[in-house]
């Protein structure tokens, strides 16, 4: 469990963590790999969400997943980009959070992931929380905690 002052200060900025779904670049499960390849190359993010037509979160796709599919015996097979769908290469079983104020779960997931998808109870994709946005809040916390709470150093020298 997070200690109260840390949780309070992190929650104060929780609304700013979310990059809303409508400005998160994404592809759809039935897009071909050529489309996904172009999107990933243009936006320069290494990994983006995959959605279905109703806006449900289905997984993540990255350039390495696509290029691996293109690997033939001695050369890259570019034709496969038109033939295969995103659903054939995407990562599934991605850990998500339901709300931006689920700070503790987000913090744990961010240890291994540059962003955490926010997906509601119906499976609808609401956006992402990035490490960058979270670190801004952590920076705020490190400067503010001493101003807003009395911090007393405990003496463990005799214990």
- Which residues are at the interface with ligand AMP (CB under 6 A)? 19, 23-25, 45-48, 114-115, 128, 130-132
Decide whether 48 or 141 has the Cβ nearer to ligand AMP: 48
Report the distance separating Cα 89 and Cα 62, nearest Å. 9
Q: How far is the CB of 94 from ligand AMP (least distance, A)?
A: 12
Report the distance separating Cα 43 and Cα 51, nearest Å. 17
Decide whether 63 or 145 has the Cβ nearer to ligand AMP: 63
Decide whether 46 or 148 has the Cβ nearer to ligand AMP: 46
Q: How far is the CB of 129 from ligand AMP (least distance, A)?
A: 9
Q: How far is the CB of 23 from ligand AMP (least distance, A)?
A: 6
Q: How far is the CB of 117 from ligand AMP (least distance, A)?
A: 10
Alpha-carbon distances of 83 from 86, 134, 138, rounded to whole Å: 10, 39, 45
> Among 2, 17, 18, 15, which residue's Cα sits nearest to residue 145?
2
Decide whether 35 or 149 has the Cβ nearer to ligand AMP: 35
Angle at alpha carbon of residue 24, lines to 67 and 71, rounded to 5°: 5
Question: How crowded is residue 71: how many other Cβ atoms within 10 Å of its Cβ?
Answer: 11
């Amino acid at each position: 469990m997070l200690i109260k002052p840390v949780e309070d200060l992190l929650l104060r900025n929780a609304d700013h963590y979310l990059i809303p779904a409508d400005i998160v670049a994404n592809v759809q499960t039935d897009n071909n790999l050529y489309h996904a390849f172009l999107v990933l190359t243009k936006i320069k993010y290494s990994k983006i969400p995959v959605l279905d037509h109703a806006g449900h979160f289905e997984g993540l796709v990255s350039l390495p997943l696509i290029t691996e599919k293109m690997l033939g015996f001695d050369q890259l097979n570019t034709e496969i980009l038109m033939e295969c769908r995103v659903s054939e290469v995407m990562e599934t079983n991605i850990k998500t959070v339901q709300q931006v104020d689920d700070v503790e779960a987000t913090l744990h997931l961010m240890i291994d992931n540059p962003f955490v998808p926010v997906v509601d109870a119906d499976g609808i994709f609401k956006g992402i929380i990035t490490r960058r946005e979270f670190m801004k809040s952590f920076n705020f916390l490190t400067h503010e905690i001493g101003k807003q709470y009395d911090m007393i150093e405990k003496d463990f020298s005799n214990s």
